[in-house]
Amino acid sequence: MLDPTQPIALFAEATMGKLNAKMAEGILRYGRNPVMAVIDSTQAGKRVRDLCALDSDVPVVATLAEAQGLGAQVLVLGTAPSGGRLPPEWKDVLEQAIAGGMSLVNGMHDRLHPMFADKLRPGQWVWDLRVPQGDAPPIAMARAASLPNTRVLMVGTDMAIGKMTAGLELTRSLTDMGHDAAFLATGQTGIAITGRGIPLDAIRVDHAGGAVERMVMEAAAHKIVVVEGQGSLLHPGSTATLPPLMRGSACTHMILCHRAGMDTLDELDSVRIPPLRDVIALNEAVAHAAGALTPAKVAGIALNTARLSQAEAEAALRATEDETGLPTADPVRNGAQRLARAILAAP
């Protein structure tokens, strides 16, 4: 696991400030390690705050050597190309990092440890986040449904909509309010931030629900667990992540994550996003499985208003709350206290 005292550099070549750099932004916002630089030669000379909605003075540099010169000891691959495969043109940078004594944190599906194992020096390591740990989990058997705690699953209208961010903010708000809450990571960014979790999209589909169930059962002592969501029931490319999360967690509540103003999926203009009331009904129906499983209800809406002005954001929040009849908040802009109160008040 990444030592939280080690200085890191985030590799986000040609993506910083774009959707694919969500891992870099997540670590910048919530990570424990000091970030010395972001590497993106197309934006060199700028600061993080110039490229995204983060009040961060971290510099953007053009080369790995510059990041090392600033003290970085670990290189974190902070962007996720389509399909999660390692671009061939990155290999030279990775070889330079290993040769320069740096360790690697890799969120790609392609494993780097076998590639560099024979080149590692004492104290140097490669952490492949998307490698399932331990034995294959058992098939999910609705064991979590017997737990007396509250299990909140983050769901969304699209991929990369802010489910992890909203979940972390919700957990923080619940904890700040004095409640025993834990965040359970199911993707590479959440694992990198918290140091634990499961890489759900790298687990065989037959065992995915069981992996979620085992993680939830291991966290059973917590009064509230917030389970990081993956994918969307609306997205045709989201095949194995969301139903296993519903089945494995036996969630009691859900928070629906949506980006203000979205009418179609981000990368599929042909797929229309239905009215949010219909999306809520869909998620509740799938989670409940026509009465066979736990009757999880959507308790609130996490609305991503990052692309809006303050006045526009306030109007969007009011409109969404009027449309759905549910408490609505932008957890990043305004905090997640409203959503936390909704969870606590929900039956």
Residues 271 and 164 in one domain: yes
d(CA 38, CA 19): 15
Residues 283 and 148 in one domain: yes
Whether the per-residue pLDDT at 167 is higher than 80: the answer is: yes
Residues 330 and 187 in one domain: yes
Residues 118 and 224 in one domain: no
Residues 12 and 40 in one domain: yes
- Give the pairing of strands 268-272 and 264-265: antiparallel
Digit-coded pLDDT (tens) for 238-263: 876 788 999 999 999 999 999 999 99
Residue 135 forms part of a structural domain: no
Residue 123 forms part of a structural domain: yes
Residues 15 and 115 in one domain: yes
Of 128, 163, 188, the residue that ends a domain is 128
Residue 63 forms part of a structural domain: yes
Q: What is the pLDDT of residue 235?
A: 93
Q: What is the pLDDT of residue 196?
A: 93
* CATH number of the domain encompassing residue 340: 3.40.50.300
Digit-coded pLDDT (tens) for 174-232: 999 999 999 999 999 999 999 999 999 899 989 999 999 999 999 999 999 999 999 99
Mean pLDDT of the region 307-313: 95
Other Cβ atoms within 10 Å of 263 Cβ, number: 7
Q: What is the pLDDT of residue 240?
A: 62
Residue 227 forms part of a structural domain: yes
Residues 181 and 282 in one domain: yes
Residue 133 forms part of a structural domain: no
> From its phi and psi, is residue 331 left (phi > 0), alpha (psi between -120 and 50) or beta?
alpha
Q: With DSSP H G I counted as helix, E B as strand and the rest as coil, what are the percentages for the chain, rounded to 5?
A: 40, 20, 40
- Which pTM was predicted? 0.92
Q: What is the pLDDT of residue 82?
A: 65
Specify the range with the lowest mean pLDDT, choosing from 130-134, 180-184, 325-329. Answer: 130-134
Residues 214 and 75 in one domain: no
* CATH number of the domain encompassing residue 97: 3.40.50.720
Whether the per-residue pLDDT at 335 is higher than 70: the answer is: yes
User: HSE-up of 289 (CA within 13 Å, CB side)?
Assistant: 11
Residues 241 and 273 in one domain: yes
Tokens at 163, concatenated: 């489910």
Digit-coded pLDDT (tens) for 51-110: 998 999 999 999 999 999 999 999 999 987 766 788 888 999 999 999 999 999 999 889
Residues 167 and 114 in one domain: no
Instruction: Give me the domain span that covers residue 189.
Output: 143-345
Q: At what angle do helices 205-218 and 242-249 cross, to 10 degrees?
A: 40
Do residues 84 and 108 make contact, with C-beta atoms less than 8 angstroms apart?
yes
Residues 281 and 193 in one domain: yes
For 245-280, give the DSSP string. HHHHHT-SEEEEEEETT--EETTEEEEEPPPHHHHH
